[in-house]
Amino acid sequence: MFKIGIIGCGRIVEEGHAPAFKELIKDVNVVALADTAIERCEKIGGILNVDRAHWYTDYTEMLKKEKLDFVDIALPHFLHEKVVIDCANAGVNIISEKPLATNLKEVDHMLKAVEKNEVILAVLHNYRYQPAMKKAIEITKAGVIGTRFIIRSEGLGGSHYAGTGAYDPDWRTKQNMAGGGCLIDNGYHNIYISRELMGADVVSVYARVNTYYHKIDVDDSAFLLLKHSNGGTTSIQIAWAVKAGGQGVNEVHGKLGSIFFGREGKPLGVFLNEKGTWEYPDVSAIPQNSFTGIFQDIFYAVEKGEKVPTDGYEARRNLQIIMAAYESARKEKVVKV
Ligand SMILES: NC(=O)c1ccc[n+]([C@@H]2O[C@H](COP(=O)([O-])OP(=O)(O)OC[C@H]3O[C@@H](n4cnc5c(N)ncnc54)[C@H](O)[C@@H]3O)[C@@H](O)[C@H]2O)c1
């Protein structure tokens, strides 16, 4: 049974992490909470049954007083660096929200502290665990649609995911707190997903990144063309600028067939070229909450002494591609990664 302290008890902890911890009651025990806004400790303490004697407005106090196996960090991006380093120096294993930081320099400081203190760092690339995505990854890995060469990954929305009102609901729209806009926040997921579905890493990126609609100092739309090491291409479209909402297209095309997400109202459709038929795999046995799946895999990996699903180096690689996309947009050039 792992003892966990949460640092940052905001919206995603309420909507994603806390329900997952409740589902994983046999593996984990959330014993302490830290948030500068005490009402957030109260909120999450109520959901996870954590007594007020274990609520902290200063996470360093929590690190001193509690015996923790892991911290779960869900703070605005710009706060991750200092908190991860403090936790590593306190000898506590770390689960961190994505992106690991707002730039690669911060990530390198974090990785240095993690290495020095020999603690575990796992980063929440949780979209890999959404039921349809998990199944699609299994299908591609099993070779069912053959070598993949085109991926479409599109999520056009009208605004950012607002943080809790107890802090600053719009921190995501501020460069100094978020390090970018919809690309670093949402597009981050599309990138690791496309790398996984293609089964090949990204070797270069061409991007257009704009602020078309909102009066904010970060991007509200991003368009990326990724070249993968197998020659395949991913196109990503992501936005906070489309009030009507886009059609949420997700497709993977391979030499033997294709995978469509959400076709005919089904989570997943698989087209087999040779047969010319569609199949609709059942995904109902996979946990609905993607955090349940990733937390479970992290804890199982640690129990067995194996590598965690997404470590700090993998998170760094994903952020490197984001940074290359911003550079590409600035220079209007293809950037190698
Ligand atoms: N993986 C996903 O699907 C996903 C989804 C949403 C958010 N996130 C990530 O989770 C993180 C948090 O996002 P959110 O939407 O929950 O934000 P939020 O603003 O709702 O929550 C942040 C919390 O941190 C607290 N906080 C601020 N400074 C603090 C400090 N110094 N010490 C302790 N607590 C402090 C705030 O009071 C607030 O409660 C971000 O990195 C975001 O990218 C990931």
pLDDT tens per residue across all 337 residues of the chain = 899 999 999 999 999 999 999 999 888 999 999 999 999 999 999 999 999 999 999 999 999 999 999 999 999 999 999 999 999 999 999 999 999 999 999 999 999 999 999 999 999 999 999 999 999 999 999 999 999 999 999 999 999 999 999 999 999 999 999 999 999 999 999 999 999 999 999 999 999 999 999 999 999 999 999 999 999 999 999 999 999 988 889 999 999 999 999 998 999 999 999 999 999 999 999 999 999 999 999 999 999 999 999 999 999 999 999 999 999 999 999 999 9
**Pocket probe mutation, ligand 1, options 13, 75, 129, 319, max atoms within 8 Å of Cβ:** 75
Helices (H) and strands (E) in the chain, counts: 12, 15
Q: Is 3.30.360.10 the CATH classification of the domain at 127-286+314-336? A: yes
Encode pLDDT of 76-93 as tens digits: 999 999 999 999 999 999
Ligand 1 center to 206 CA (angstroms): 30
Strands 257-261 and 250-254, bridge-based pairing: antiparallel
Question: CATH 3.40.50.720 region(s) of the chain?
Answer: 2-124
Give the single-character DSSP code of 217.
Answer: S
Give the contacts of 10 (CB within 8 A, at least 6 positions apart): 35, 40, 74, 75, 163, 164, 166, 167
**Pocket probe mutation, ligand 1, options 6, 7, 11, 12, max atoms within 8 Å of Cβ:** 12
Cβ-contact 24, 295 below 8 angstroms: yes
- Check if 287 has its Cβ closer than 6 Å to any atom of ligand 1: no
Ligand 1 center to 254 CA (angstroms): 37
- Check if 75 has its Cβ closer than 6 Å to any atom of ligand 1: yes
Alpha-carbon distances of 310 from 31, 129, 294, 316, rounded to whole Å:
24, 12, 9, 10
- Check if 38 has its Cβ closer than 6 Å to any atom of ligand 1: no
Question: CATH 3.30.360.10 region(s) of the chain?
Answer: 127-286+314-336
Q: CA 6, CA 173: separation in Å to the nearest integer?
A: 24
Q: CA 283, CA 91: separation in Å to the nearest integer?
A: 39
Cβ-contact 326, 183 below 8 angstroms: yes
Encode pLDDT of 47-77 as tens digits: 999 999 999 999 999 999 999 999 999 999 9
Strands 277-279 and 268-272, bridge-based pairing: antiparallel
Tokens of 85: 């380093």
Second-level CATH architecture of 2-124: 3-Layer(aba) Sandwich (3.40)
